[in-house]
Amino acid sequence: MQHPSEKQLVDFVLDEAVLLDSQRFEEWLALFDAEGRYWMPLTPGQTDARLQTSLMDEDPLLLRIRIERLKGSRTFSEQPRTRCHHLLQTPRIDMMDTTRGLYRLKTAFHYVETRLDQQQLFAGWATHDLVQKPEGLRIQLKRVDLVNCDAAFGNISLFM
């Protein structure tokens, strides 16, 4: 199995944001490993998603349920649909373990979510723990650390 280049790792993260901004959620979900997780901690520096409350902690099944809800014609809270935009700094590679096929990238971002005349702006860092599989890179963990993670939030409809 060929190891990904630094450019391929960076492109993976950038391409993931394009899928989200384009609302290509099925393709986005396919980027996750079967045991992958999407985690948004509730407190700065949080180290445990299981024993501490999180804003979000979702496995592929829960992500699929959210995607199905977003697509539903009877999901009136999504009429018209929420849209989003990611503005990313260049992802930084924090770890490359080619022996085990594990990689970690950290990306600072601004994220806008909008529906009708309401717009929310979020800022933070996304950490992607990636694993090399025969079918390509897969997300083991996407951790989203918001600058103000301990603030009171309204509904966050999509994925950062």
Instruction: Give the chain's domains with CATH numbers.
Output: 6-146 (3.10.450.50)
- At 83 the pLDDT is 87
Please report the pLDDT score of residue 59 as a whole number: 96
Question: Please, are residues 60 and 160 in contact by the beta-carbon 8 Å criterion?
Answer: no
> What's the pTM value of the predicted model, to 2 decimals?
0.93
Report CA dihedral (139, 63, 14, 12) to the nearest 10 degrees: 30
The type of residue at 127 is T
Tokens of 126: 């996304």
19, 35, 42, 97, 101 from 153: Cα distances, Å: 24, 28, 11, 37, 36
Q: What is the pLDDT of residues 60-99, one digit of tens each?
A: 999 999 899 888 766 666 667 888 999 999 999 999 999 9
Give 61's contacts (C-beta < 8 A, 6+ positions apart): none
Tell me the pLDDT tens digit for each residue of 20-49: 999 999 999 999 999 999 999 999 999 998
Find out whether 113 and 90 touch, Cβ atoms under 8 Å: no
